[in-house]
Chain A
C-alpha cells in the first residue's frame, strides 16, 4: 500500500507570494492533517480534514488555509508569504472514524518551503 505522498518536496518562494502544497493520503484513509515543523517552534498543528470538512484548526493566521477533496486528497495554501513561513510542512493521514481507530497518524516526507 502506498504511503502518504506530498508534492512538491522542495520549493523556494519570495515574500508576498503564495504557495499551494498537495497531499495524497494512504488509500482508504479519510482524515488528513497538516503540521508545520520549524526549529524554533517544533511541530505545530495547522488543521485536520475529514470527509471534506475541516474538523479542527490550529492557531495560525488566516493566510493559512486548506481543503480536502472528495477523493480525500488535500491541499494547503499559504498566501502573502512571510520569512517566518519557512518550514517543513508535514501531511499525515489516518483512517478516521470508528472506535477501532486509535489515532496514530501516518506522515508523508514533507514539503520544505523556503521563503526568501
Chain B
C-alpha cells in the first residue's frame, strides 16, 4: 500500500535560515508526490508536485523539494524562511489506480521565529 511518513511533528527555525520539512514514502511503482500547506482555519493549498523528470522540483512561495529515489524521500526545502511560512505542512502520495485519492502524512507544524 502507498504511504508517506513525516517524522517530525514540529520544526522550529529562525527567520532567514534555511528550512527542511522531511517526508519519506513507500510505494509500489513510480510515485506521484505532493506537498500542501495549511494555514489556521483554512483548506489545503498546493505547493508542488513530483511526477517525473528533475529530482529538484520548484513550487509556490519559494519552496522546493528534492526527490531522492534511493532514500525514498521527498523533503521540502526553502533557502530562507519567513515568519509567514509558519503553518502546517502535509506530504502526500497519489494512490494507485485511476482515481485521484491522495494519502497524506500526519503533517508537520513549521514555526518560524522572528
Chain A residues packing against B (C-beta within 8 Å):
4, 6, 31, 33, 35, 42-43, 45, 48, 50, 55-56, 58, 90, 92, 94, 96, 101-110, 112
A4 contact set on B, CB distance < 8 A: 43
- Docked Cα-Cα span, A102 to B45, in Å, equals 16
A-B pairs, top 8 by smallest CB distance, nearest first, are A107-B43, A43-B104, A56-B99, A107-B44, A109-B43, A103-B94, A55-B99, A94-B100
The A contact surface, by secondary structure, is strand
Contact call A42/B106, Cβ cutoff below 8 A? yes
Chain B residue at minimal CB-CB distance from A58: B101
Q: Give 16 new A-B contacts, CB below 8 A, not counting A92-B44, A103-B94.
A: A31-B100, A33-B101, A33-B102, A42-B106, A45-B101, A48-B101, A50-B99, A55-B98, A56-B97, A56-B101, A102-B49, A103-B102, A104-B49, A107-B43, A109-B41, A110-B43
The B contact surface, by secondary structure, is loop
